[in-house]
Structure 1
C-alpha cells in the first residue's frame, strides 16, 4: 500500500527551521518545499514527462504562498496532461521575454547609428557628417526610441508627407534613400525580417521629382562681375583668398574649406586630396594652374604655419565653417537662387562643354577634373592614369579663359 502524504499547513511552513543540511517538506502531488541550510525556503514541483523524472522551480516562500504554490502545481499538471512539458514552456516564455527586451533595445536610433558608423568608410567625411545631420533633423524626432521592428511604412510615409508639405521634396527623397540603406543593414544583421522601404512607392507620395540644377553663370558679363566682386571683397582675408582660388579649382565647398598645407605640392603644382575627403572615396590629384600657385604662395605667408590653408577667422586651428563662403557670396549681393559655392563646379562644366572645339579636350577629361566617379572600374583606373596631362591642359585653358574674361573691357 502506497504511503500517503499529509498536506502541509501554513503554520508548519512558517515555523519550520533550517537544519545542518537541506531537507524537503512534501505537500503531495509532486509539490514540496526545499528548506535550505541557509534558511531559504523554495517551492519545487517534481513530475514525470516522457518517462523522465523532472523538477521545476516555482518560487520562494513567503513570496509564493502555499495556496499559490498548489495552484501552480495544478496548472503544471494540466499542461502535462496536454503533453506539454512545464520546463520547456517556462524556457520558451523566458526566451520570449528576452526577445521582447532585445527588441526594445534595438531602437531605430541604435540600429541607424550602427549603420552610420559602419558606413563611414564608404563615403567622404563631409558626406558622412551630412548623413548624420539629416537623421537628426528629419528622422529622429519622429521615431528615435521606437524599436526598429515596430516602425511601420506609415511612419516613414508620414515623415515624407511632412517634408513634402514644407516643400522639401528633394530632402524627402534623400531621407528615404538613407532610411533604405539603414533597413538593408538591419535586414542583413537580422534586426528586422524585411526592408519596409521596398514597399513604398516614392513617386506616389512625393509626386514626380524634377531634377534641380545648381544655379550658375554662363555668360561672360556675369562671370566677369563675379570675379571682380571677389577681388573687391572687403571681408576676412582668408575667406577672400579661398573665394579667389575656388573659380580656378571648382572643387566642392568641403574640400576648399578643409584644404591642408600637407596636401599642396607647390613644386609639382598639384593638390593631392586624400580619399577620406572625397565623395568618391578615391584619392584625387588635381593639377594647379599658375594662377592658383600665386594665390597659395601669398596665403602661405599668413597661414603656412598652421594645418589649414584657409582656417576659420575665429580659430586658426580649425577649418573654415560651412556658412563662411555662403555668407561671403550673400554680402557680395548674390542670392541663393543666383549663386552658391557649388555653382563654381557647374560654371566650369558649362563653359568646358560649350567650348570643347576650342580647348580640344573630351567630356571624359571634363568629368575627370570634376572628380566624378566612372561607373566602369577598369575604365576608371585607366582614366586616372591617362588623363593627367589632359587634365592639366584643360585646367590651364579654363584658368586663362577666366582671366581673359575678367580683363576684357
Structure 2
C-alpha cells in the first residue's frame, strides 16, 4: 500500500531503524534519532542495491517519487543509477576545481610565483581576477565564452577605465592559455576580443626635457628636507633612469660596487629579462652614503615603517610635488624620457646603446648577467658622461646646445 503525505509526519522513532514502503521499490527509513530518509531498492547485474534520495521533509513524497522514476529510467537504459550518481558527483568536483577563478589562482600562485614575478605584479594579477570573478569566476573555465568575458570588460570601459579593460583582457588570455596547456579548456576566448575594446590613448609620463629646467630640479633635490632615504632615491634616479618599480625593489645583493654594476634579475624586469646597469662614480658614492643609513642588507629603499617592504610607489612623485613640481611637469617615470631625449640629442651615443640602457629590447639574458655583450663598454662610458652632464646642470653651468655631428662610436 502506497504512503500518504499526511501520515509521514506521524511516523515516530523507535529503538531500531524501521522502513515504510511506498511503491516500485521506494521506501522511507525512520531512524532512532528521528531522521527520515528516502531510499530506492533496485537490482543491477543480479545484485540488490540501494540509492539514497534525500531526507524528509526537504524531499517531499512527491519529489521522492519523481527521483525514483528518474532512477528507474536510468536503470531501464541499462545503466546503474548509483554509479551514474557517483560519476556526476565526481564530475561536479572536477568542475568546481576547474572554474575560471580556481585556474586563474593556480596560474598566479603557481606559475607566476614560480617564475619569480614581483609582488606588485602578483598583486595586480589578483586584482584583475577580482574584477573578473563576479562575471565568470564560478563558471567552469571550459564554459566561458567571449560574450561572458566581454560583459565585465565593457563595464570597465564604460567607467572610463579603458587601459584597465585592456590589461584585464590580456590577463584573462594568459589564464585561458594556461588552461589549454593544462588540459582544462580547449581555446582562448579572450583572444577573440582584441578588436572589441576601445584602444586606450597612449600614456605619456610628464618629463623635463629642457636642460636648464632639469638643473633646477636637480638643485631642488639636493635641498630636499624630507626623509634622507627619499632624497637619495631622488638623487640616484636621474643617473640610472630605470623604471620606478625596478628602483624601489632594488636589493643590496644585486649590487657590486667594486665592479660598479647593478644586476637586476629577470623577475623584476618588465620584459622578464635580466638587465645590468653600469654605475657611474657619482652613483657609487651616493650608494655608499645610502648603505651607511640602511645597513647594506635587504632593500636599498625600505618602507618607512617596515624594512621588509620596499618604498611606496608614490613616494618619489609625492616628493616631487612637495618640491613644487606638478604632475604635468615631472614624474618618477619621466626621468627615463628625460635621459632618452637628452642622450639622443647629444649625438654622442648610438641609439641602440641608449635603448639597451633603457632595457628596451634588451639582450642581457642571452649575453650573461654581466651584460658584457654589444654596447656594454659604450654604456659604461655613457653612464659616466651622463652623470658628469647632470652635475654640470645641477651646478648651474652654461648649457651648450647639443650637436649631432659628434658621435661616440669607439
Q: TM class by shorter-chain length? A: 0.7 to 0.9
Deviations 1:4-51, CA, capped at 9 Å, x for gaps: xxx999xxxx9xxxxxxxxxxxx999x799xxxxxxx9864336xxxx
Report the equivalent of 1:91: 83
1:403 aligns to what SS in structure 2? helix
Indicate conservation of the 8 Å contact 2:273/2:362, yes or no.
Answer: no
**Structure 2: runs of 5 or more not aligned:** 4-10, 12-21, 28-36, 399-410
Q: Does 1:250 align with 2:241?
A: yes
Q: CA deviation at 1:78?
A: 6.4
For residues 259-294 of structure 1, the C-alpha deviation after alignment (integer angstroms, 9 at most, x for no partner) is 222322222212222333233333332111011112
| Superposition deviation, residue 367 in structure 1 | 1.9
CA distance in structure 1 between the partners assigned to 2:317 and 2:388 by the alignment: 25
Query: How far 1:157 moved relative to its partner?
Result: 2.2
Shift of 1:126: 4.7
Bigger drift between 242-251 and 289-298 goes to 289-298
1:262–1:56 distance in 2 versus 1, CA, 3 Å: same
Query: 1:308 touches 1:317 (CA, 8 Å); kept in 2?
Result: yes
Mapped to 2, the partners of 1:65 and 1:331 lie a distance apart of 72
Give the structure 2 partner of residue 330 of structure 1: 321
Question: What is the aligned counterpart of 2:345 among 340, 347, 354?
Answer: 354
| Paired position in structure 1 for 2:6 | none
Counterpart secondary structure, 1:205:
coil
CA 1:144–1:234: 2 relative to 1, 3 Å: farther
Answering whether residue 112 of structure 2 is matched by residue 119 of structure 1, we say: yes
Alpha-carbon offset, residue 212 of structure 1: 2.5
1:109 is the counterpart of 2:101:
yes
Normalised by the length of structure 2, the TM-score is 0.75
- Name the residue aligned to 2:183: 190
Maintained 8 Å contact 2:275/2:365: no
How far did 1:368 drift? 1.8
Q: What root-mean-square deviation, in Å, do the aligned CA atoms of Structure 1 and Structure 2 show?
A: 4.3
Residue 396 of structure 1 corresponds to which residue in structure 2? 384
Quote how far apart the aligned CAs of 1:314 are. Answer: 2.6
Give 1:237 deviation, angstroms. 0.5
- Distance in 1 (CA, whole Å) between partners of 2:131 and 2:247 is 28
Normalised to the residue count of structure 1, the TM-score between the two structures is 0.75
Corresponding residue pairs, total: 379
Whether the aligned pair in 1 keeps the contact of 2:364 and 2:371 (CA below 8 Å) is: no
Distance 1:176 1:72 in 2: 43
Shift, 1:305, TM fit: 5.1
Q: CA 1:130–1:353 in 2, change beyond 3 Å: closer, same or farther?
A: farther
Distance 1:69 1:139 in 2: 39
> 1:309 maps to which residue?
300
Shift of 1:245: 0.6
Shift of 1:343: 1.0
Instruction: Give the SS at the match of 2:197.
Output: helix
Q: Write the deviation string for residues 95-123 of structure 1: whole angstroms up to 9, x where unpaired.
A: 23432343244333222111112123446
Match among 42, 51, 64 for residue 45 of structure 1: 42
Please give the secondary structure, in 1, of the residue aligned with 2:92. helix
Which is helix-richer, 1 or 2?
1
